[in-house]
Amino acid sequence: MKILACYSIKGGVGKTATSVNLAYNAAQAGYRTLLIDLDSQGASSFYFRVRSGKKQWGKRFFDTYESLLKQIKASDFDGLDIIPAHQSFRHFDVFLSDINKRQRRLRQVLKGLKKEYDLIILDCPPSLSYLSEAVFQAADMIVVPVIPTTLSERTYEQLLEFFRDKDLPVGQVYPFFSMVQKQKQLHKTTIERMQSRYKRTLITQVPFSSDIEKMGEHRTPVACFAAKTAGGEAYLNLWQEIQQQLESL
């Protein structure tokens, strides 16, 4: 079983769009996939029309894998299950601050699901917190959507610095370009510079796409209503590129 995190310090860069579409494409490719919506905003749960119960269960998230098993919901798609977000997830850092060896705990708990799943995808909230450190330790691969602008590039550098400072596995971090608008000179030059600077930059670029934006209306992955568009094809290519990488780990 592999663990893939969609993460960025920055908000609104496409983490949720990526998590949802990668989870769908992975399940279509035959991977028994579990998407965990770690963001209390619950956007990926919304896209898959899955809701958490009323129970404030966030505090038990890091207890044992059995407590997670109880929260798993089926999606409308074969091979794809979801743990939807709950409001109580906004207190994850408080819960984690009480836990010994908190950075390791998420990986330990998730590894308990290895008989049930081939792939776990984590849709992360935009922050640099105890939760993100636990995610960095848990994930075999961390994909970081980057909108090719100056500030996003700077935030990506800050993330790498954080990894180096904390002795985290920086080789597991893979940036890719999200919401790309090729007609913009700034996007073009930022992409060129980052590609030559960061060798792990994934080749696939996800374009700015009104089809991807419309996922909120359809409440399904883009492939379900616009597979043969630039947005739909980009997410399929991105999945295939990530799949190759995961298989080589």
Residue 123's DSSP bridge partners are 6, 37
Distance between CA atoms of residues 37 and 84, nearest Å: 5
Question: Taking CB within 5 to 8 Å according to partner kind, which of ligand ATP, Mg ion, none is near residue 139?
Answer: none
Q: Are 20 and 35 in contact (CB under 8 A)?
A: yes
Which of 212, 226, 238, 242 forms a contact with ligand ATP (CB under 6 A)?
A: 212
- Looking at residues 20 to 79 of the shown chain, list those that interact with Mg ion (rule: CB under 5 A): 43
Q: Assess 205 for contact with ligand ATP (CB under 6 A).
A: no
Q: Are 61 and 25 in contact (CB under 8 A)?
A: no
Q: Assess 30 for contact with ligand ATP (CB under 6 A).
A: no
Q: Assess 233 for contact with ligand ATP (CB under 6 A).
A: no
* Distance, C-alpha 50 to centroid of its chain: 17
Question: Taking CB within 5 to 8 Å according to partner kind, which of ligand ATP, Mg ion, none is near residue 208?
Answer: ligand ATP
Question: Taking CB within 5 to 8 Å according to partner kind, which of Mg ion, ligand ATP, none is near residue 13?
Answer: ligand ATP
Which of 17, 141, 143, 223 forms a contact with ligand ATP (CB under 6 A)?
A: 17
* Cβ atoms < 10 Å from Cβ of 63: 14
- 2-6 and 141-146 beta bridge pairing: parallel
Q: Assess 152 for contact with ligand ATP (CB under 6 A).
A: no
C-beta nearest to Mg ion: residue: 16
Helical segments of 166-197, H only: 185-197
Which of 94, 184, 213, 219 forms a contact with ligand ATP (CB under 6 A)?
A: 213
Tokens read off for 32: 């028994």
**How many residues belong to the site for ligand ATP (CB under 6 A)?**
18
User: What CA–CA distances, in Å, run from 44 to 32, 40, 48, 82?
Assistant: 18, 10, 6, 9
Nearer to Mg ion, 32 or 175 (CB): 175
Q: Which residues bind ligand ATP (CB under 6 A)?
A: 11-17, 39, 43, 126, 178-179, 206, 208-209, 212-213, 216
